[in-house]
Amino acid sequence: MILIVDSGSTKADWISVDNNGKQLLEKIRTLGLNPAILKEKKIYKIIKSSDELMQHRKDVTHIFFYGAGCGTEKPRLQLKAILEDIFINAEVDVQEDTYAAVRATLSHDDEAAVVCILGTGSNCSYYDGERLHQKIKSLGYTLMDDASGNYYGKELIRDYYFNHMPEVIKVSFADKYNLDADYIKYNLYKQPNPNAYLASFAEFLFLNKDSEYIQNLIKQGIRRFAKNMILQFKNEIEVVPVHFAGSIAFFCKDEIHEVAKELNFKVGNIVRRPIEGLVTYHTNQL
């Protein structure tokens, strides 16, 4: 049994397949496994909370794990050791989530492209057909992650409290979420995964896209992301497409195309969930 895992900070999707790519179990979903944020004990707890994973843990021969927080060596190796400890018969490969986006969005293996992630967090890399190149080292959701779910959640809460929202949007926002100041601060400063908590507000954007305020907010975030991240690859985007992966990207397709036209880059593929492309990629490699 082969496990292919696509993990953000909010959730992780686990697909089990045989050597021919045939799915063996229903897709398993757990909480996200970000080793840069979660303590070792919490990661063990999340994995072991899945009865199906535990039932089949000795049957697993390979794990291909792609995750947020796996871009630096220490957390990547920490997660690899945990997976090897639980899935005792498996060869484990842990890569940062950017590689999942690359392998899921490319039209062919040796294609060069700029590849972006817009999900709970955000990132941008250049893939030259063989290797991944990044010009910006991510400092995480507090300082970076423009146009991500947690970015938009933060902007919505700020606009609500600073009274920058139109009244009708403000009323609708307050009806949908608990916006008590103490409750927000508790989730931001006392609970794990504050980035995922912030990202939970992003759904509000997609439910209210007919609002001019929401439209401007979405495009403002995408412009910031493009100027800070995509335009770092000014020479590359003259000749290669810019692919996107993640739920924010998927639901903001129109706005991405508008900003791309403004800033003169070509949008390529936009994939909501990389996991399907990863199954095809890995079974082709076996």
Per-residue pLDDT of the chain (286 residues; tens, 9 = 90+): 999 999 988 889 999 998 888 889 888 999 999 998 899 999 999 999 999 999 999 999 999 999 988 988 999 999 999 999 999 999 999 998 888 889 888 877 778 999 999 998 899 999 998 888 988 888 888 899 999 999 999 999 999 999 999 999 999 999 999 999 999 999 999 998 899 899 999 999 999 999 999 999 999 999 999 999 999 999 999 999 999 999 999 999 999 999 999 999 999 999 988 887 788 788 777 6
Rounded-to-5 percentages of helix, strand, coil across the chain = 45, 20, 35
* Residue-wise burial string across 192-204, b where 16 or more C-beta atoms lie within 10 A, e elsewhere: ebbbbbbbbbbbb
Residue of 122, 101, 93 whose CA lies nearest to 4: 93
Give the fold, CATH level 3, of 2-97+275-285.
Nucleotidyltransferase; domain 5 (3.30.420)
Is 0.75 topped by the overall pTM?
yes
What are the sequence ranges of the domains in the chain? 2-97+275-285
Rounded to a whole number of angstroms, the CA Rg of the chain reads: 19
